[in-house]
Amino acid sequence: MVFSSNIFLFLFLPVFLGLYYLTPFRHRSWVILIGSYAFYAWWRVDFLLLFVAVTLWNYIMGLGIHRAGVGSGAARKWVAIGVTGDLATLGYFKYANFGVDSLNSLLSSVGSQPLELAHIILPIGISFYIFQAISYVIDVYRGDTEATRRFVDFAAFIALFPQLIAGPVLRYKDLADQFADRTHTMEKFSEGAARFMQGFVKKVFIADSIAPLADHAFALADPTTSDAWLGALAYTAQLYFDFSGYSDMAIGLGLMMGFRFIENFNQPYISQSITEFWRRWHISLSTWLRDYLYIPLGGNRGSTFMTYRNLLLTMLLGGLWHGANWTFLLWGAWHGILLAFERALGVSGNPKGFRLSRWLFAFFCVVLGWVTFRATSLTEAFSFYGAMFTFDGAGLSADYLQGMRTLNVAILVLAYAVVAMMGLRDRLQRRGMTITQLGWRSFAMPMLLPLFALSVLKLSAESFSPFLYFQF
């Protein structure tokens, strides 16, 4: 089940919220847990067993760390066992196919017989809930949060359906107090509903309308330079509105349930460096990688070489987290190298002013990276790069024009206009030129309701609208 579906909008969500608010507060974690398991089982019931097993495993690890004593040698063993089990689970389901296929390619190249392995299905959302589980056991060991003795609260946290499939990557220490006590007000519910509608419009009305431009460009056998650049720019906008739209819906649903999640995006396409980009894009993941990978590796506490190594390793593993493909490793390496260069040059991740040249270069680097992110293989990626920089001057090809609709292009222009407008708002606020939240809502809300209704009609006509980040 996905948020952008009629079954969710008109059946699951109203039934869940009705039961949730009719249930006394002390039992609402059970409603969240049962509802979230039903939400997940809608995809495949059998993988719900794996989900429950991961939850039980990490709950037991947390109790073991607590009994051993925070920070003790015995607790360190519990952490090692817990994290090893989590990574082994993720490694098997997400990377076994990739490893065997890579090994078979090597074996075939030397004339040996390839290995046979039954294709392993990737459980939906496994990257997200495994990372959340890992952060829990590490935080308990560090003493950043207490091991919860209420299993239902921990299980509800791991299963929390608004963020279950594609984040944000939440941490138990940030929600523990909210499970114990949170407010439910009409104002918070209304804020959540508006945020959900905003994300729904981003996903269905904008991202899905742009998708054909990107999909067609990457499917062309011989794209022109214009085809390739338009396709790359279309995918750049599609990915942002698709993923940030999901995050908006997740945050909105959380508010409707009384939870306040962290923000996951902050106008990333106005960044003037890759360092700033990663402070604005998929914030929950970038901070997770910083706190649980980059800093434990040594961060910037060692030599200059070690700092660059840590940056590169963090981004390589971050790329691999996104998918079992060499393209994601290359994408991670690209960002890791850029981050290392920026650190060497002393580039600030929080610039005070705005310089067009820096923004253009940063955006250019981001777009180039998204090509590798979107491509299904390195061969396809390099072929697409070749088209982007051939400069044949032929304009858009007949094949590309044949599958293009004026509405798709108009929505693409609208998408970048929204990015520019929100970026301008951000810069004005940084200069102290305040745009009041009330004034912004009075401008946006009259447009939001009809756009949401139009998006629902569009969804009903198309019947299915998967999110790009579901594959991770």
Considering the domain architecture, whether residues 84 and 127 belong to the same structural domain is answered as: yes
Residues 220 and 268 in one domain: yes
Residues 383-418 have pLDDT tens digits of: 999 999 988 767 888 888 888 888 999 999 999 999
b or e along 287-323 (b: 16 or more beta carbons within 10 Å of the residue's beta carbon)? Answer: bbbebbbbeebebeeeeeeebbbbbbbbbbbbbbbbb
Question: What is residue 260's predicted lDDT score, i.e. its pLDDT?
Answer: 93
Q: Which pLDDT score, from 0 to 100, does residue 469 have?
A: 62
Q: Is it the case that residue 441 has pLDDT exceeding 60?
A: no
Quick one: 176 and 207 in the same domain?
A: no
- For the purposes of burial, counting CB atoms within 10 Å of the CB of 344, is it exposed (0-12), middle (13-18) or buried (19 or more)? exposed
Give the C-alpha separation, 144 to 78, whole Å.
16
- Asked if residue 316 belongs to a domain, the reply is no
Give pLDDT, residue 65: 94
Residue 112 has pLDDT above 80, yes or no: no
236-286 pLDDT tens trace: 999 999 999 999 999 999 999 999 999 999 999 999 999 999 999 999 999
Q: Would you state the pLDDT for residue 2?
A: 83
| 285 falls within a domain | no
| Residue 369 forms part of a structural domain | yes
The pair of three-digit structure tokens given for residue 17, joined into one six-digit string: 């919220």
pTM confidence score: 0.91
CB of 136 closer than 8 Å to CB of 172: yes
- In whole angstroms, give the CA distance from residue 218 to residue 396: 14
Q: Which of 133, 154, 182 lies at the terminal end of a domain, its last residue?
A: 182
- Same domain (yes/no): 382, 451: yes
pLDDT band at 438 (very low <50, low <70, confident <90, very high): very low
Domain's final residue, options 157, 182, 207: 182
SS (H, E, C) the chain: CCCCCHHHHHHHHHHHHHHHHHCCHHHHHHHHHHHHHHHHHCCCCHHHHHHHHHHHHHHHHHHHHHHHCCCCHHHHHHHHHHHHHHHHHHHHHHHHHHHHHHHHHHHHHCCCCCCCCCCCCCCCCHHHHHHHHHHHHHHHHHCCCCCCCCHHHHHHHHHCHHHHCCCCCCCHHHHHHHHHCCCCCHHHHHHHHHHHHHHHHHHHHHHHHHHHHHHHHHHCCCCCHHHHHHHHHHHHHHHHHHHHHHHHHHHHHHHHCCCCCCCCCCCHHHCCCHHHHHHHCCHHHHHHHHHHHHHHHCCCCCCHHHHHHHHHHHHHHHHHHHCCCHHHHHHHHHHHHHHHHHHHHCCCCCCCCCCHHHHHHHHHHHHHHHHHHHCCCHHHHHHHHHHHCCCCCCCCCHHHHHCCCHHHHHHHHHHHHHHHHHHHHHHHHHCCCCCCHHHHHHHHHHHHHHHHHHHHHHHHHHCCCCCHHHHC
Same domain for 99 and 218: no
Is the pLDDT reported for residue 201 higher than 70?
yes
Question: Is 263 among the domain residues?
Answer: yes
Q: Do residues 164 and 129 touch, judged by C-beta distance below 8 A?
A: yes
Name the pLDDT band for 464 (thresholds 50, 70, 90): low
Total of domains in the chain: 2
Is 240 part of any domain? yes
Whole-angstrom CA distances from 392 to 214, 222, 387, 467 are 20, 12, 9, 34
Whether 256 is in a domain gets the answer yes
Say if residue 159 is in the same domain as residue 212. no
If asked whether residues 82 and 192 sit together in one domain, one would say no
> What tokens appear for 44 in the block?
């495949």
If asked whether residues 192 and 126 sit together in one domain, one would say: no
pLDDT at 287 over 50: yes
- The amino acid present at 408, given as its one-letter code, is N
- Out of 124, 155, 182, a domain closes at 182
Q: Please indicate, yes or no, if residue 238 is contained in any of the structural domains.
A: yes
Long-range contacts of 372-379 (CB under 8 A, 24+ apart): 372/327, 372/328, 372/330, 372/331, 372/334, 373/239, 373/322, 373/327, 373/328, 373/331, 374/214, 374/218, 374/235, 374/239, 375/218, 375/327, 376/325, 376/327, 377/325, 377/326, 377/327, 378/326, 378/327, 378/330
**Higher-confidence position of 243 and 464:** 243
- Whether residue 147 sits in one domain with residue 94: yes
Q: Residue range 25-34: average pLDDT?
A: 94
**Which candidate in 66, 184, 282, 322 is catalytic?**
322
Token pair for 217: 């460009």
**Does 393 reside within a domain?**
yes
In this predicted model, what pLDDT tens digit does every residue of 206-245 receive, in sequence order?
999 999 999 999 999 889 999 999 999 999 999 999 999 9
Check whether residue 150 and residue 176 sit in a common domain.
yes
Per-residue pLDDT for 446 more than 60? yes
Q: Which pLDDT tens digit goes with each residue over 314-370?
A: 999 999 998 889 999 999 999 999 999 999 998 888 888 888 899 999 999 999 999
| Residue (of 360, 343, 366, 368) closest to 272 by Cα position | 360
Residues 413 and 361 in one domain: yes
Please indicate whether residue 216 is annotated as part of the active site: no
Q: 302 pLDDT band (50/70/90 cuts)?
A: confident
Residue pair 262/283 in contact (Cβ under 8 Å)? The answer is yes
Domain that includes residue 256, residue range: 188-272+351-462
Mark whether 58 and 178 lie in a shared domain.
Answer: yes
Measure the CA–CA gap between 369 and 277, rounded to whole angstroms: 12
Query: What pLDDT score was predicted for residue 101?
Result: 67
